[in-house]
Amino acid sequence: MGLTIGQKLIKSHLLEGEMIPGKEIGIKIDQTLTQDATGTMAYLEFEAMGVERVKTELSVAYIDHNTLQTGFENADDHRFIQSVAKKRGLLYSKPGNGICHQVHLERFGKPGKTLIGSDSHTPTGGGIGMLAIGAGGMDVAVAMGGGTYYTVMPKMTLVRLSGALQSFVSAKDIILEVLRIMSVKGGVGKIIEYGGEGVKTLSVPERATITNMGAELGATTSVFPSDEITKQFLAAQGREADWSPLESDPDAVYDEIIDIDLTSLTPLAAMPHMPDRVRSVADIGKIRVNQVCIGSCTNSSLMDMLKVADILKGKKVAADVSLTISPGSMQVLNMLSLNGALSDILSSGARLLECACGPCIGMGQSPNSAGISLRTFNRNFEGRSGTADAGIYLVSPETAAASAITGYLTDPRELGTMPRIHMPSSFIINDNMIEKPVSPEEADSVEVLYGPNIKPFPTSEKLPESIQAPAILKVGDNITTDHIMPAGAKILPYRSNIPYLSNFCFRQCDEHFSQRCKAAGKGFIIGGANYGQGSSREHAALVPLYLGIKAVIAKSFARIHCANLINAGIMPFTFKNADDYDRINTDDVLELADIRSCISEGKTAVLKNITKSEEYPLDYDYSDRQKAMILAGGLLNYTKEQGGNR
Ligand code: MIC
Ligand code: SF4
């Protein structure tokens, strides 16, 4: 039987396990990336592991999230990351060089290689045929130390593309269509592979827009073949030697096939507050817009920016609209400025922001009260923009630019015919903002620089025989890590200070959550379906750990968060009978009796509701390694028990 692209990539890196969907596999990691909002914690964990130098083929530490320096905290964290990178053998991408995923695609990604990154949008690398997976910081730290990366063998989904996109219809509309079909939990446990004749019509940046936002499907990753188009892109980046071909076998077998005719697609938008609330722009109608933000790791490539410049050329941004543009990288900004497109953008009245995540993670540009913001980003979760009652719509760069001019949500096809933008045959190569590490011989002379904001991270204790504690919080379906551990300009500077961060945990769901946890000393969280979707931030596990959360009992979990909980020593359980979710109320006293024996002996776990005198059977599908981690109280304790070997 032939293999899919995903299966080929896994097979060539498989270290442990069998390629049976649902079973744990261990794979070799060739490259890692971190960004600063998760990186400080990842490097603290890496330092705690005592590894002298990274053992991957390439590891890059990017600074792109926490770029506002309103106090010493972010600057100190960046200095810490830079010093670790220099000493331990990583490349360091300075603030201003660009968003990790965009820069990695341009300068470092290689078809056929594996990449894990402490950011959920790491699958952007699937656009050039990498197996690129988002993971928690601790998993990335282990991979940097040469350790195996463990995940569950995914099922294979083929999205078969036919036809070609019409004028003003964009790669963003393709992934929005996939989200409409599959939903934010439709990709859990799957690799989404793109194939069919339509693939040949898509450039690498367009493919990367699609694989990037596969994160919103909950997928393990998304991937495109590596073909002549990939080769041309790498050649234009001066990296033709990094190319290798990759395609699925003609007789590859997929678990699921979705057909999309590109010719019939129209401009789409994801409505507040979920990326899968997709409707056509024409259907939503001409709603008034206060803000338009163009950029983010989904849509900040040179091609995207050139399209935007073309639409804005000779036009004026509407009086009531604030239009911001964040090019994805220094390379993109440099090329825009050299060819005059930047002038077209600025002349229209757009505001130029630095090459960073910026408004996407609430680092500035929070909309006005009840404001409507159109964004070319990938997430529109409630409150993520920093304005609790703002309504965020996710759209293509074409729809965003057209709407910025008119002042209302506009189908860009109303503008006529889009001129074709061509991929340049060569990009400007300038790696001046990438710092190299010192040689191993010089490493002793480099000091790791810790700032006063860096506080020790919490560790768990061995799992006790039984746990009795209240249900501190009960939440519904699709709870995001932005609910659990919000981000934004005011909170992000404390990513290395868990005690301070704890004050903000679950604030959107219950503003007293943190105090109630501290008063109870320990507790449980009851969750709905797809609990923990969204980002890779392990803070959404470490902060609950600090607050005494012992287990999360939910209808189902998102992949990265589930792994982060286990790494932290918090037990994720699912209800055997989904209806039992309805029987538990906040503050009910619950008990996991004999839980240590249950897990070590692989027996069914039972949750006793002491308040209601009821019992609910629970499921847990831990691998032997995960069981050992839970019994030890998390990955770090487990690693110590193993004598440092994971
Ligand atoms: C995000 O888009 O939510 C982030 C910020 O990039 C996160 C990482 C983080 O929380 O630092 C992600 O997607 O993993
Ligand atoms: Fe940055 Fe937004 Fe991309 Fe996350 S989704 S990496 S915050 S641009």
pLDDT of 1 reads 85
* Cα dihedral 539, 540, 542, 547 in deg (nearest 10): 130
Does residue 462 form part of some domain?
Answer: no
Distance 512 CA to ligand 1 centre (A): 24
Number of domains, the chain? 3
495 in the same domain as 585: yes
Residue 149: count other Cβ atoms within 10 Å of its Cβ: 21
Q: What are 62-121's pLDDT values in tens digits?
A: 999 999 999 999 999 999 999 999 999 999 999 999 999 999 999 999 999 999 999 999
157 in the same domain as 61: yes
254 in the same domain as 147: yes
Distance 145 CA to ligand 2 centre (A): 25
| Dist. CA 282–CA 432, nearest whole Å | 44
391 in the same domain as 515: no
Does residue 461 form part of some domain?
Answer: no
Ligand 1 pocket by C-beta < 6 Å: which residues? 37-38, 65, 119-121, 134, 361, 379, 487, 534-537
Does residue 494 form part of some domain?
Answer: yes
Whether the predicted pLDDT of 130 surpasses 90: yes
Q: How far is CA 270 from the centre of its chain?
A: 18
Q: Whose CA is nearest to atom 1 of ligand 1?
A: 535
Residue 606: count other Cβ atoms within 10 Å of its Cβ: 16
Does residue 458 form part of some domain?
Answer: no
337 in the same domain as 222: no
Query: Average pLDDT, whole number, for the chain?
Result: 97
291 in the same domain as 231: no
The least confident of 303-312, 606-615, 636-645 is: 636-645
Whether the predicted pLDDT of 645 surpasses 80: no
Does residue 455 form part of some domain?
Answer: no
pLDDT of 397 reads 98
pLDDT of 587 reads 98
What is the 3-state secondary structure of 252-276?
ECCCEEEEEEHHHCCCEEECCCCCC
509 in the same domain as 487: yes
511 in the same domain as 573: yes
Distance 593 CA to ligand 1 centre (A): 36
pLDDT of 406 reads 98
Residue 480 φ/ψ, nearest 5 degrees: -100, 165
Domain housing 478: 467-641
Does residue 423 form part of some domain?
Answer: no
Whether the predicted pLDDT of 468 surpasses 60: yes
276 in the same domain as 240: no
Q: What are the beta bridge partners of residue 134?
A: 117
Structure tokens at 387: 């304005």
Whether the predicted pLDDT of 481 surpasses 60: yes
286 in the same domain as 207: no
Whether the predicted pLDDT of 223 surpasses 90: yes
> Stretch 546-550: mean pLDDT, rounded?
98
> Stretch 191-211: mean pLDDT, rounded?
98
Q: How many angstroms separate the first and last alpha carbons of the chain? A: 34
Ligand number, closest to the Cα atom of 298: 2
489 in the same domain as 392: no
Q: Whose CA is nearest to atom 12 of ligand 1?
A: 535
Helices 204-212 and 302-312 meet at what angle, rounded to 10? 100
Q: Which residues 6+ apart lie within 8 Å of 620 measured at CB?
A: 571, 572, 573, 574, 599, 605
pLDDT band at 644 (very low <50, low <70, confident <90, very high): low
**Which of 412, 437, 459 finishes a domain?**
412
Whether the predicted pLDDT of 646 surpasses 70: no
As a whole-number percent, the residues of the chain with pLDDT over 70 amount to 100
Among 360, 492, 495, the mutation site with the greatest number of ligand 2 atoms within 8 A of its Cβ is 360
Q: Which residues 6+ apart lie within 8 Å of 287 measured at CB?
A: 372, 408, 409
Distance 538 CA to ligand 1 centre (A): 10
Distance 537 CA to ligand 1 centre (A): 6
Spatial strand order in the sheet of 24-27 = 14-16, 24-27, 149-152
Q: What is the CATH number of the domain that holds 87?
A: 3.30.499.10
Ligand 2 contact, 121 CB (< 6 A): yes
pLDDT of 73 reads 97
588 in the same domain as 546: yes
Q: What are 340-373's pLDDT values in tens digits?
A: 999 999 999 999 999 999 999 999 999 999 999 9
| Dist. CA 186–CA 188, nearest whole Å | 6
Q: What is the CATH number of the domain that holds 579?
A: 3.20.19.10
Residue pointed to by tokens 């110590």: 640
